[in-house]
Chains A and B, each alone.
Chain A
């Protein structure tokens, strides 16, 4: 089975993150940039399917030059190769145009299965799998906590508000996964060394037949008008439990009309 895993480099969600003052895009310069956490679960799932069914695992990333670090990190977990869509004109692309670029790149890769994280920690938009499926005319199985592959048939289990659903489709398909699906492996030293030699192909917009004006800030279908830091919450009253902590808590709740 030919599997492509979408990997996005994002600013580390455990550190301070901000938007740039000049063009309202994510500030990558001052951030420490990492693989989107949920994507590691997608890589792990791809490797497990490869172990059981054979085939090739390819990482696909769209992002600036610096994203190559995350690509090497992804490869160190075990995938065979990577494709990096890299073009200065992509800076500032919205989700809609990103899906156009990724769909074009996927069009060159002939994947049976496209795996990705259910959401990225920066945008948390969750729309990419369905946007890609819509563009490519293939199925999207989203939010999987369990994925079963049987020949060309795919079945997922996904959490819903009411309980869970079992959803099935045939390949080719896009499947997005939550962090409940598996436990990602840590790259081994051997894996890290091997990753340095794995092929990384770079694709430009020209390679994909997309005009620069269709993407990036110019081609974006939405725009940030302004942004500001939310005033930090200031801590309020803090009391030590002197044996009456529970009562004081309820007194506060009562003063706010919650009790």
Chain B
């Protein structure tokens, strides 16, 4: 069986969940082969986890050049690998970096590209949800191999232990790929909460939360449910919560098992980012708020009464 290349998303020596989803998907399409692109020593801490989810091989591209510049060197190494192994498909995460690498790879190989894919069948037909989750599209790459970016939380990762053979890649990056130099990389403490796009529970606050301080209420419920915190654009624009947590058309798209919307009216701008969540729960004082059209369970009421009571009830049940 031909190899299916899975470009590993990793951070701080850990494999990100979307990678495990991609390995799970890759097993349906061929033999999963993980590709680690990073600085010296990047691959070693990741190999066990990649094996556990079925990677038969780990291609290790390790060089200062791969972390010192924006995506171009990664795309160059990946293009060489694709040319030499002729894989059945190439999967990347539908993240900013994953999409950027994929875009460059598409040009290098003159190969079609499908982004934000939620399913991929062995015959190469990919499923995408577009227009704020209102339309389902099935498409295929018609030039080259299936080059696909997979949206996080599209499938449930399943372990399938294998013994990955580690195969180092030669990293020869020419000057043309070193034009965008990373000067500084700043890590901001994010606490114990899961990452927004990968979380299985997301609790979001909107304009109804009222001010930045009140977001503690949103955070408290998120922590009790083991979830990530999100915010609507109205809340972000009002300065209640930082932009990187914005869910919606101009923010992140999330697709968790549970989405809790607190004080969010449910404008189309917000729905675009959360409509494909499995279960949606809303608290809003306006009974006519459009969020209730989506919610599996809605409470019409004052979130400052409902949320503390819910938090108390969860604590009681723990």
- A residues sitting closer than 8 Å to B (CB atoms) are 13-14, 16-19, 24, 37-38, 94-96, 99, 121-128, 130-131, 133-135, 137-143, 145, 155, 159-170, 173, 178-180, 220-230, 232-233, 235-241, 244-250, 252-254, 256, 258-259
Minimum distance in angstroms from B160 CB to a CB of chain A: 25
Once the chains bind, are A131 and B103 in contact (CB under 8 Å)?
Answer: yes
Chain B residues closer than 8 Å to A126, beta-carbon distance = 96, 99-100, 103, 115
Chain A residues closer than 8 Å to B144, beta-carbon distance = 221
Q: Known contacts A138-B179, A259-B225: does B135 contact A124 (CB below 8 Å)?
A: no
Tell which of B96, B103, B135 touches A128, judged by Cβ atoms closer than 8 Å.
B103
What is the CA–CA distance of A250 and B312 in the complex, to the nearest angstrom?
Answer: 10
B278-317 CB contact bits vs A (8 Å, 1 = yes)?
A: 0111010001000011111111111001111111111001
A130-B71, A162-B187, A235-B295 provided; 12 other pairs, C-beta below 8 A?
A: A95-B106, A96-B111, A96-B113, A122-B130, A124-B115, A130-B100, A133-B72, A221-B113, A225-B138, A226-B138, A233-B294, A240-B299
Minimum distance in angstroms from B175 CB to a CB of chain A: 10
What is the CA–CA distance of A126 and B129 in the complex, to the nearest angstrom?
Answer: 16
What is the CA–CA distance of A95 and B114 in the complex, to the nearest angstrom?
Answer: 9
Chain B residues closer than 8 Å to A166, beta-carbon distance = 182-186
Give B11's nearest chain A residue, CB to CB. Answer: A162
Give the top 5 A-B pairs by smallest Cβ distance, nearest first: A241-B301, A246-B309, A127-B103, A221-B112, A139-B179
Tell which of B107, B139, B187 touches A135, judged by Cβ atoms closer than 8 Å.
B107
Give B181's nearest chain A residue, CB to CB. Answer: A168
B254-271 CB contact bits vs A (8 Å, 1 = yes)?
A: 000110000000011100
Once the chains bind, are A142 and B298 in contact (CB under 8 Å)?
Answer: no
* 9-residue interface stretch from B21-29, B81-89, B242-250: B242-250
Chain A residues closer than 8 Å to B181, beta-carbon distance = 167-169
Most chain B Cβ neighbours within 10 Å, of A24, A254, A256: A256
What is the CA–CA distance of A109 and B268 in the complex, to the nearest angstrom?
Answer: 37
What is the CA–CA distance of A229 and B137 in the complex, to the nearest angstrom?
Answer: 9
Chain B residues closer than 8 Å to A137, beta-carbon distance = 176
Once the chains bind, are A227 and B297 in contact (CB under 8 Å)?
Answer: no
In the assembled complex, 19 residue pairs joining A and B whose CB atoms fall closer than 8 Å, in A order, are: A37-B250, A96-B110, A124-B115, A127-B115, A130-B104, A134-B103, A143-B96, A155-B183, A163-B185, A165-B182, A168-B181, A221-B143, A235-B292, A238-B287, A238-B297, A238-B300, A246-B309, A247-B309, A249-B297
What is the CA–CA distance of A165 and B133 in the complex, to the nearest angstrom?
Answer: 31
A-B residue pair count with CB separations less than 8 angstroms? 279
Minimum distance in angstroms from B294 CB to a CB of chain A: 5
Tell which of B99, B135, B185, B280 touches A127, judged by Cβ atoms closer than 8 Å.
B99
Chain A residues closer than 8 Å to B138, beta-carbon distance = 224-227
Minimum distance in angstroms from B105 CB to a CB of chain A: 9
Once the chains bind, are B294 and A223 in contact (CB under 8 Å)?
Answer: no
Interface residues of B in 105-130 (CB under 8 A from A): 106-108, 110-116, 125, 129-130
Q: Known contacts A17-B134, A94-B112, A95-B113: does B296 contact A131 (CB below 8 Å)?
A: no
Minimum distance in angstroms from A115 CB to a CB of chain B: 15
Chain A residues closer than 8 Å to B125, beta-carbon distance = 225
Q: Known contacts A140-B70, A258-B201: does B142 contact A222 (CB below 8 Å)?
A: yes
Minimum distance in angstroms from B179 CB to a CB of chain A: 4
Minimum distance in angstroms from A186 CB to a CB of chain B: 16
Minimum distance in angstroms from A257 CB to a CB of chain B: 10
Chain A residues closer than 8 Å to B132, beta-carbon distance = 13, 17
Main secondary structure of the interface of B (DSSP, over half): mixed
Once the chains bind, are A241 and B104 in contact (CB under 8 Å)?
Answer: no
Tell which of A142, A235, A247, A258 touches B96, judged by Cβ atoms closer than 8 Å.
A142
Minimum distance in angstroms from A46 CB to a CB of chain B: 19
Chain A residues closer than 8 Å to B136, beta-carbon distance = 227-230
Minimum distance in angstroms from A146 CB to a CB of chain B: 12
Chain A residues closer than 8 Å to B250, beta-carbon distance = 37-38, 121, 178-179
Chain B residues closer than 8 Å to A258, beta-carbon distance = 201, 225, 257-258, 279
What is the CA–CA distance of A126 and B151 in the complex, to the nearest angstrom?
Answer: 13
What is the CA–CA distance of A152 and B301 in the complex, to the nearest angstrom?
Answer: 56
Chain A residues closer than 8 Å to B297, beta-carbon distance = 236-239, 249, 252
Once the chains bind, are B112 and A252 in contact (CB under 8 Å)?
Answer: no
Q: Does B140 sit at the interface, judged by CB under 8 A? A: yes
B220-259 CB contact bits vs A (8 Å, 1 = yes)?
A: 0000010000000000000000011000011001000110
Q: Known contacts A221-B142, A221-B144, A245-B305: does B310 contact A140 (CB below 8 Å)?
A: no
Once the chains bind, are A240 and B186 in contact (CB under 8 Å)?
Answer: no
Minimum distance in angstroms from B23 CB to a CB of chain A: 20
Once the chains bind, are A223 and B140 in contact (CB under 8 Å)?
Answer: yes
Q: Does B275 sit at the interface, judged by CB under 8 A? A: yes
What is the CA–CA distance of A96 and B104 in the complex, to the nearest angstrom?
Answer: 10
What is the CA–CA distance of A245 and B298 in the complex, to the nearest angstrom?
Answer: 9
